Amino acid sequence: MSSFSISTLGCRANQADSERLSQMLRAAGMQELPAGEAVDCALVNTCTITAEADRKSLKMIRRRLREARVVIVTGCGVTERGGIAGLPEGAFAVSPQEHKRILDILAGENISVGESSEPDDRQHRTRALIRVQDGCDHFCSYCIVPYVRGAVRSFDCDELVHQVQRLERDGYKEIVLTGIHLAKWGLELEPRRDLAYLVGRFLESTSAVRFRLSSVEPISFPRSLIDLMRECPERLCPHLHLPLQHASDRILKRMRRGYTLDEYDELAQMFLSVPGACMTTDILLGFPGETEEDMDILSAYLERTPYYHLHVFPYSRRPGTAANTYKDQVPEQLKKERVERIIALGERSKERVLSAFRGTKRPVLVERLVPGTDLVTGTADNYISVSFPGDASMLGQIICAVIS
């Protein structure tokens, strides 16, 4: 039996793609091994969101070239429109739109692919990710994604419904909807649909599995999604990752985010009024022209908004994007200091959110045993990590537990 491994960098959309790739290769009779082991084929699913992501992707490819007979590189680093410069020789580049070609490449390299005779025996099915659309046409001035991923394309609703029904039948307890710009799902379809319609279809065509949204951009966010969370909280998790990037209207405008702080905050407050709601976000620091005054505006907003987690990025110049040409770039050292400041603020915010939830009960999807203890750990519907006494029989189950 031939073997493969997958290394995934970047966002949830990439993780969803890696799950599909794993399924495809296992269905072709190959065995999956942990990344890092000697394998016939190593797949590297790359990310190019920042210069740091490029570096990590390249490092991973070079490492896998030493361990695998064939290395296949995919993800945002190798799209038809562009990606990471200077990919090492000896690796096959396959864009995310042509994954089916991978089987032909393997056959051409004399790696046996056929059909699996064995049932998929992955244990404790917990969380599955599905990708519902590709592309972004928003062109925030700092972002490379629209260039590498191209225009928005919504995946077919009926096919997605079949996918989630299959995942529920396979025993998954939670399905995470991912996309490059999730809030754009359906907007270009005829008749026009939106993400709330898709989630509604998922809810009515499954019976118990719960759904979670990964990052949803505030722009084009369908408000009726929040009504769905309020109406069926046990099926649609009251968690939102709502990227803010900055709180200074001047910076938001230069970033071309398409909203003001007030507009963002109105949406955030609407979501936070859902019982149990818990919010996380992305913050981008050191954007060209950012002053101490902008930092004060950001700190003040973060102090008064209950974020459970901040994903803080130092701004990275991406060739080809508008902001790369801006003259007033922030020195690296200052970026670093600002990142550290906001990370510390984020930790205090997390503490505040946790203390507000302490003692309350939430449905927790149990994912792991904590080694050396009699505890299990998992993720509550609202994304809070919870540990509590338990055993292996609880793995993959949703159990009501107290947040401590």
Task: Say which residue the tokens 């998922």 belong to.
Answer: 202
Cα–Cα distance, 185 to 182 (Å, whole number):
6
| Interaction partner, residue 313 (ligand SF4, ligand 5AD, none; CB < 5-8 Å by kind) | ligand 5AD
- Element containing residue 7 per DSSP (H, E): strand 3-8
Q: Cβ 256 to ligand SF4, closest distance in Å?
A: 8
Residue 8 contacts ligand 5AD per CB under 6 A: no
| Interaction partner, residue 394 (ligand 5AD, ligand SF4, none; CB < 5-8 Å by kind) | none
| Interaction partner, residue 49 (ligand 5AD, ligand SF4, none; CB < 5-8 Å by kind) | ligand 5AD
Residue 218 contacts ligand SF4 per CB under 6 A: no
Q: Which sign does the torsion angle of CA 238, 241, 247, 251 carry? A: negative
Looking at beta carbons only, is 136 or 384 nearer to ligand 5AD?
136
**Closest to 61 in 3D by CA, of 88, 26, 36, 93:** 88
The three-state secondary structure class of 239 is: strand
Task: Note whether 136 and 321 are within 8 A (CB).
Answer: no
Residue 324 contacts ligand SF4 per CB under 6 A: no
Q: Restricting to residues 263-282, which ones interact with ligand 5AD according to CB under 6 A?
A: 282
| Interaction partner, residue 315 (ligand SF4, ligand 5AD, none; CB < 5-8 Å by kind) | ligand 5AD
- Exactly one of 315, 357, 383, 388 binds ligand 5AD (CB under 6 A); that residue is 315
Residue 318 contacts ligand SF4 per CB under 6 A: no
| Interaction partner, residue 91 (ligand 5AD, ligand SF4, none; CB < 5-8 Å by kind) | none
Distances (CA, A) of 251 to 6, 110, 285: 38, 53, 10
Contacts of 117 (CB under 8 A, 6+ apart): 29
Looking at beta carbons only, is 243 or 378 nearer to ligand SF4?
243
| CB neighbours of residue 325 within 10 Å | 11
Of 105-113, 133-141, 288-296, 369-377, which part binds ligand SF4 (CB under 6 A)? Answer: 133-141
**Closest to 368 in 3D by CA, of 345, 396, 327:** 396
Cα–Cα distance, 113 to 111 (Å, whole number):
6
Residue 298 contacts ligand 5AD per CB under 6 A: no
Q: In what order do the strands lie in the sheet with 210-213?
A: 127-131, 174-178, 210-213
- Exactly one of 46, 206, 245, 280 binds ligand 5AD (CB under 6 A); that residue is 245
**Closest to 158 in 3D by CA, of 201, 222, 120:** 201
| CB neighbours of residue 267 within 10 Å | 18
Residue 44 contacts ligand SF4 per CB under 6 A: no
Cα–Cα distance, 114 to 30 (Å, whole number):
8
| Interaction partner, residue 181 (ligand 5AD, ligand SF4, none; CB < 5-8 Å by kind) | ligand SF4
- Exactly one of 77, 243, 276, 288 binds ligand 5AD (CB under 6 A); that residue is 243
Residue 136 contacts ligand SF4 per CB under 6 A: yes
Give the CA angle between residues 83, 93, 66 to the nearest 5°.
Answer: 110
Q: Cβ 215 to ligand SF4, closest distance in Å?
A: 8
| Interaction partner, residue 284 (ligand 5AD, ligand SF4, none; CB < 5-8 Å by kind) | ligand 5AD
Strands 133-134 and 153-154: antiparallel
Distance of CA 84 to the CA centre of its chain: 20
Looking at beta carbons only, is 94 or 148 nearer to ligand 5AD?
148
Q: Cβ 49 to ligand SF4, closest distance in Å?
A: 8
Q: Cβ 150 to ligand 5AD, closest distance in Å?
A: 16
| CB neighbours of residue 293 within 10 Å | 10
Looking at beta carbons only, is 107 or 151 nearer to ligand SF4?
151
Q: Cβ 315 to ligand 5AD, closest distance in Å?
A: 5
Q: Cβ 381 to ligand 5AD, closest distance in Å?
A: 23
Please state whether 101 falls in left (phi above 0), alpha (psi between -120 and 50) or beta: alpha
Interface with ligand SF4 (CB under 6 A): 136, 138-140, 143, 145-146, 180-181, 217
**What is the contact surface with ligand 5AD in residues (CB under 6 A)?**
11, 49-50, 142-143, 243, 245, 282, 284, 313, 315-316, 318
